[in-house]
Amino acid sequence: MSLRDLQERYLPSLEAELQAVAQAPQQQHAELFGILRYHLGWVDSTLKPSPAESGKRVRPMLCLLACEGCGGDWQKALPAAAAVELLHNFSLIHDDIEDGDRTRRGRPTVWAVWGEARGINAGDAMFGLAHLALLRLRGRGVEDGKVLAALDLLIESELALTGGQHLDIGFEDRGDVTADDYLAMIEGKTAALVSCACKLGAVVAAANADRQARLASFGRHLGIAFQMRDDILGVWGDPEKTGKPSGADLARRKKSLLVLHGAENNSELRGLLAQDALSEEEIDTATRLLEQVGSRRYVEELEREHHTRALASLEKASLQGPAGEALKELAQGLLGRCR
Amino acid sequence: MSLRDLQERYLPSLEAELQAVAQAPQQQHAELFGILRYHLGWVDSTLKPSPAESGKRVRPMLCLLACEGCGGDWQKALPAAAAVELLHNFSLIHDDIEDGDRTRRGRPTVWAVWGEARGINAGDAMFGLAHLALLRLRGRGVEDGKVLAALDLLIESELALTGGQHLDIGFEDRGDVTADDYLAMIEGKTAALVSCACKLGAVVAAANADRQARLASFGRHLGIAFQMRDDILGVWGDPEKTGKPSGADLARRKKSLLVLHGAENNSELRGLLAQDALSEEEIDTATRLLEQVGSRRYVEELEREHHTRALASLEKASLQGPAGEALKELAQGLLGRCR
CA A308 distance to own-chain centroid: 20
Q: Per the CB < 8 Å rule, is A94 touching B165?
A: no
CB-based contact (8 Å) between A151 and chain B? Answer: yes
How many beta-carbon contacts under 8 Å exist across A and B? 140
CB-based contact (8 Å) between A166 and chain B? Answer: yes
- Cβ neighbours of residue A104 closer than 8 Å, sequence gap 6 or more: A92, A96
CA A22 to chain B, closest CA, distance in angstroms equals: 11
Number of Cβ atoms within 10 Å of the Cβ of B51: 9
A89-103 pLDDT, tens digit per residue, is 999 999 999 999 999
CA A118 to chain B, closest CA, distance in angstroms equals: 6
**pLDDT at position B337:** 58
Domain boundaries, chain B: 3-335
**pLDDT at position A297:** 95
Mean pLDDT of B84-93: 98
| Whole-prediction pTM | 0.95
B43-58 pLDDT, tens digit per residue, is 999 999 987 777 789 9
Q: For residue A255, is pLDDT > 90?
A: no
DSSP per-residue string spanning B21-86 = HTS-SSGGGHHHHHHHHHHTTSB-TTS-B--------HHHHHHHHHHHHTT--GGGGHHHHHHHHH
Chain B neighbors of A161, CB-CB under 8 A = 124
Selection from A230-244, A270-284, B121-135, B242-256 with the highest mean pLDDT: B121-135
Q: Is B244 helix (H, G, I), strand (E, B) or coil?
A: coil
B228-285 pLDDT, tens digit per residue, is 998 898 888 877 776 666 777 888 778 889 989 999 999 999 998 888 888 889 999 9
Chain B neighbors of A138, CB-CB under 8 A = 148
CA B170 to chain A, closest CA, distance in angstroms equals: 8
- Residue B255's closest CA among B339, B178, B145? B178
Q: What mean pLDDT, rounded, does chain A reach?
A: 92
Chain A neighbors of B165, CB-CB under 8 A = 121, 124
A145-167 pLDDT, tens digit per residue, is 999 999 999 999 999 999 999 99
Interatomic CA distance for residues B316 and A298, integer angstroms: 70
Angle at B297 between CA B295 and CA B300, to 5 degrees: 110
Pick A148's closest partner by Cβ from B90, B99, B138: B138
CB-based contact (8 Å) between A23 and chain B? Answer: no
Mean pLDDT of B13-17: 97
Chain B neighbors of A128, CB-CB under 8 A = 155, 158-159, 162
Question: pLDDT exceeding 90 applies to what percent of chain A?
Answer: 77
CB-based contact (8 Å) between A150 and chain B? Answer: no
- Residue B96's closest CA among B116, B118, B68, B82? B116
Pick A131's closest partner by Cβ from B118, B125, B155: B155
CA Rg, chain B, in Å? 20
Chain B neighbors of A152, CB-CB under 8 A = 135
Q: Which of residues 92-131 of B touch A (CB under 8 A)?
A: 94, 97-99, 115-118, 120-125, 127-129, 131
DSSP per-residue string spanning B105-140 = TTEE-HHHHHHHHHHHHHHHHHHHHHHHHHHGGGGG
Pick A144's closest partner by Cβ from B148, B165, B170: B148
Distances (CA, A) of B236 to B250, B285, B290: 10, 13, 11
Number of Cβ atoms within 10 Å of the Cβ of A146: 15
Chain A neighbors of B158, CB-CB under 8 A = 124, 127-128, 131
Pick B132's closest partner by Cβ from A28, A129, A155: A155
At B338, the pLDDT band (50, 70, 90 cuts) reads: very low
CB-based contact (8 Å) between B183 and chain A? Answer: no
CB-based contact (8 Å) between B328 and chain A? Answer: no
Angle at A146 between CA A140 and CA A147, to 5 degrees: 60
Lowest mean pLDDT among A44-58, B239-253, B324-338: B239-253
Q: Per the CB < 8 Å rule, is A148 touching B152?
A: no
Pick B121's closest partner by Cβ from A98, A125, A152: A98
**pLDDT at position A106:** 87
Angle at B309 between CA A28 and CA B76, to 5 degrees: 85
**pLDDT at position B165:** 96
Cα dihedral value B272, B276, B278, B282, nearest 10: -20
CB-based contact (8 Å) between A179 and chain B? Answer: no
Residue of A120, A132, A167, A169 to mutate for B, most B C-beta atoms under 10 A: A120
**pLDDT at position B339:** 42
Q: What mean pLDDT, rounded, does chain B reach?
A: 92
Contact B290, B262 (CB under 8 A): yes
| Residue B209 DSSP code | H
Contact B263, B270 (CB under 8 A): yes
- Residue A86's closest CA among A9, A33, A22? A22
Contact A262, A289 (CB under 8 A): yes
**pLDDT at position B198:** 98
B187-240 pLDDT, tens digit per residue, is 999 999 999 999 999 999 999 999 999 999 999 999 999 999 988 988 888 777
Chain B neighbors of A123, CB-CB under 8 A = 120, 124
CB-based contact (8 Å) between B147 and chain A? Answer: yes
Q: Per the CB < 8 Å rule, is A158 touching B124?
A: yes
State the amino acid at position B110 in one-letter form: V
CA A112 to chain B, closest CA, distance in angstroms equals: 15
Contact A185, A167 (CB under 8 A): yes
A14-29 pLDDT, tens digit per residue, is 999 999 999 988 888 9
Q: Per the CB < 8 Å rule, is A128 touching B32?
A: no
ipTM (interface predicted TM): 0.94
Interatomic CA distance for residues A72 and A321, integer angstroms: 11
Contact A253, A243 (CB under 8 A): no
Q: Per the CB < 8 Å rule, is B129 touching A159?
A: yes
Helix (H) or strand (E) holding A293: none
- Residue A123's closest CA among A155, A158, A97? A97
Q: Per the CB < 8 Å rule, is A32 touching B144?
A: no
CATH class of A3-335: mainly alpha
- Residue B204's closest CA among B87, B319, B67, B302? B67
